[in-house]
């Protein structure tokens, strides 16, 4: 019926920065597909949009149960949980929120590099725990400025990381699906050869099948006993069991990790390692950036239902 608000299914607990906008403009069904099978079956034929976060799962099985689905709007730059091939096959647009979070994720990558190199969390504990009084100075750490940085994935966020690292006088190299001739950084064809020539290896590729366990035991071995690994991409990009083993055995010196294979659950063996800096997937988690992401995720929905072009389709759906 004309004039009725489009019905939308949330597949994640929506950010409080996005929820009011969605509730005002649409009829929202909040994760009904998970909480009430009968109620979901009743409304599924009317669902015209799905909205979720960068970690949300939107599999083909769900898309196929929504015959009226027109758009999936992701509040996140990553959308590796969305079956985009199925969405395209069913004529469904998929949008995400790129660019607005580049600065935050790149800032965090540098923060994790510095924290892991200079052991900042351990330094804080050293003071608070009385070690400075009882044991004297902390053990010497590792210099970051002027070191060799390898970036795995040279998209918009990878380039933002490189720009920041240049300010630390770091020698920057990268690997990606292909070399980017316009960039002033050295290209190596794969993660293993890049790791062998890096002191810091920062992972910022998309998640999904194409990058699953890209960083494996061989790459960690190549990074070496002075090497530091940072992951601000997706937990799936690293073989987490191999990483824990490498950190326990000193195959690499340390790590700074913002993402994990089974969030929010982090292996106890990883949490027990003092030379590892851990963060709870906070890459884009500032008020300013999450507001921009929420606004963009909503604007994509609003544009679609106003009959206009969406602002930020995923590359597979882009025009
Ligand atoms: C958040 C992210 O986890 O943008 C992404 O892909 O990983 C982060 O920004 C989340 O997506 C925010 O909804």
Domain boundaries, the chain: 7-100+288-317, 102-278
Closest Cα to residue 106, out of 203, 237, 210, 249? 203
Return averaged pLDDT per consecutive 10 residues of the chain, 319 residues in all: 84 98 98 95 98 97 98 98 98 98 98 98 97 98 98 98 98 97 97 98 97 98 98 98 98 98 97 96 98 98 98 92
How far is it, in rounded angstroms, from Cα 87 to Cα 93?
A: 7
Number of H helices, E strands in the chain: 14, 12
pLDDT at 319: 62
Task: Determine the 3-state secondary structure of 229 from DSSP.
Answer: strand
| Sign of CA pseudo-dihedral 235, 278, 95, 72 | positive
Distance CA(246)–CA(268), nearest Å, equals 15
* Alpha helices (H) in the chain, listed in sequence order: 19-25, 32-35, 37-43, 60-63, 84-89, 102-118, 120-128, 131-135, 156-166, 191-196, 217-223, 240-249, 268-271, 287-305
Catalytic residue among 234, 290, 302, 304: 234
Going from the C-alpha of 218 to that of each of 52, 57, 192, 251, the distances in angstroms are: 35, 30, 7, 10
Note if 263 is an active site residue: yes
pLDDT of residue 1: 42
Report the residue among 77, 96, 285, 292 best suited for mutation to probe ligand 1: largest number of ligand atoms under 8 A from its CB: 77
Q: Which CATH code, of 3.40.50.620, 3.40.50.800, 3.40.640.10, 3.40.50.720, is assigned to 7-100+288-317?
A: 3.40.50.720
Q: Can you give the pTM of this predicted structure?
A: 0.96
Ligand 1 pocket member 78 (CB < 6 A): yes
Q: Ligand 1 centroid vs 238 CA: distance in angstroms?
A: 18
Cβ atoms within 10 Å, residue 168: 17
What pLDDT is stored for residue 31 in this prediction? Answer: 96
Give the sign of the dihedral formed by CA 258, CA 260, CA 263, CA 266.
negative
**Which residue of 78, 102, 294 sits with most ligand 1 atoms within 8 Å of its CB, as the best mutation to test the pocket?**
78
Can you give the pLDDT at residue 318? Answer: 85
Whether 276 and 257 have beta carbons less than 8 Å apart is answered as yes
Work out the angle at residue 90's Cα, subtended by the Cα atoms of residues 85 and 96, and round it to the nearest 5 degrees.
55
Distance 131 CA to ligand 1 centre (A): 37
From ligand 1's centre to the CA of 98, what distance in Å?
10
Q: Specify the residue for token string 């510095």.
A: 114
Identify the residue whose C-alpha is closest to ligand 1 atom 6. Answer: 78
How many residues are recorded in the chain?
319
The CA distance from 254 to 251, in Å, is 9
CATH of 102-278, one of 3.40.50.2300, 3.40.50.720, 3.40.50.970, 3.40.50.300: 3.40.50.720
What does residue 77 show for φ and ψ, rounded to 5 degrees? -85, -30
Tell whether ligand 1 has an atom less than 6 A from the beta carbon of residue 277: no
Say if residues 115 and 121 touch (Cβ distance below 8 Å): yes
Q: With helix as H, strand as E and coil as C, how does 236-280 read?
A: HHECHHHHHHHHHHCCCCEEEECCCCECCECCHHHHCCCCEEECC
- Do the domains spanning 7-100+288-317 and 102-278 agree at the CATH topology level? yes
Q: How many CA atoms lie within 13 A of 191 on its CB side?
A: 21
Q: How far is the CA of 298 from the centre of ligand 1 (A)?
A: 15
In angstroms, what is the span from residue 299 Cα to ligand 1's centroid? 17
- In the annotation, is 234 catalytic? yes
Catalytic residue, chosen from 89, 263, 269, 316, is 263
């Amino acid at each position: 019926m004309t004039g009725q608000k489009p019905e939308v299914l949330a597949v994640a607990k929506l950010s409080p920065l996005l929820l009011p906008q969605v509730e005002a403009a649409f009829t929202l069904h909040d994760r009904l597909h998970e909480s009430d099978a009968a109620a979901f079956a009743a409304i599924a034929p009317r669902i015209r949009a799905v909205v979720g976060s960068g970690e949300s799962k939107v599999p083909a099985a769900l898309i196929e149960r929504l015959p009226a689905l027109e758009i999936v709007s992701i509040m996140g730059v990553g959308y590796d949980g969305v079956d985009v091939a199925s969405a395209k096959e069913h004529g469904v647009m998929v949008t995400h929120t790129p660019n607005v979070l580049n600065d935050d994720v790149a800032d965090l990558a540098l923060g994790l590099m510095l924290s892991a190199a200079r052991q900042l969390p351990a330094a804080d504990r050293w003071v608070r725990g009385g070690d400075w009084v009882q044991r004297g100075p902390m053990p010497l750490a590792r210099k970051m400025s002027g070191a060799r940085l390898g970036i795995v994935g040279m998209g918009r966020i990878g380039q933002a990381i490189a720009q920041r690292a240049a300010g630390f006088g770091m020698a920057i190299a990268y690997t990606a699906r292909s070399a980017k001739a316009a960039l002033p950084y050295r290209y190596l064809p794969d993660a293993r050869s890049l790791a062998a020539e890096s002191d810091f290896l920062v992972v910022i590729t998309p998640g999904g099948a194409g990058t699953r366990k890209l960083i494996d035991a061989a790459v960690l071995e190549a990074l070496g006993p002075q090497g530091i690994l940072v992951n601000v991409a997706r937990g799936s990009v690293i073989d987490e069991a191999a990483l824990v083993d490498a950190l326990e055995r000193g195959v690499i010196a340390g790590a700074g990790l913002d993402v994990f294979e089974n969030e929010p659950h982090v292996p106890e063996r990883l949490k027990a390692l003092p030379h590892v800096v851990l963060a709870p997937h906070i890459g884009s988690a500032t008020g300013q950036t999450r507001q921009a992401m929420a606004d963009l995720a909503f604007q994509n929905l609003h544009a679609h239902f106003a009959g206009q072009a969406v602002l930020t389709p995923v590359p597979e759906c882009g025009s």
